Amino acid sequence: MSDSAVNLVLVRALAVSNELFTAAEKGNLESVALLDAERLQLLKSFRQRVAQVAAGDRAMLRQIAQLNDRTIGLLEHRKRSKGREMDMAAVGRRAVAAYANNRAQR
């Protein structure tokens, strides 16, 4: 594979990383999974074809890693938020159940 083709693989991987972050912002987990799989294949393809990484390619890989870190952070935040919402819903259900039991005894 020529240097320009390898570079295009990284350019596409960076674009997919941006799409992945946008999908995570929107909470579209199905797209996140598909885009992550696509990006993984692109990066594997890059790794298989390159013996030594050029400075420009290293910069793109750094950008991909930074976007990946931001995406993971965003998804972790959403996960914790959903967990808190589920905890609050459980507290509410228990309160309603306790109230219903007390009301029936009167």
If one compares 92 and 26, the residue with the highest pLDDT of the two is 26
- Residue 103 pLDDT grade (very low, low, confident, very high; cuts 50, 70, 90): low
Q: Which residue in 20, 6, 17, 1 sits closest to 57, CA to CA?
A: 6
The average confidence (pLDDT) of the chain is 89
- Domain ranges, ordered by start, for the chain: 3-78
pLDDT in tens, 62-79: 999 999 999 999 999 988
Rounded CA-CA distance 37/29 in Å is 12
Report the pLDDT value the prediction gives residue 59, as an integer from 0 to 100: 93
Element at 37 (helix H, strand E): helix 29-49
Report the pLDDT value the prediction gives residue 100, as an integer from 0 to 100: 80
Q: Which fold has domain 3-78?
A: Methane Monooxygenase Hydroxylase; Chain G, domain 1 (1.20.58)
Report the pLDDT value the prediction gives residue 83, as an integer from 0 to 100: 83
Q: Which residue in the block uniquely carries the two structure tokens 């290293």?
A: 58
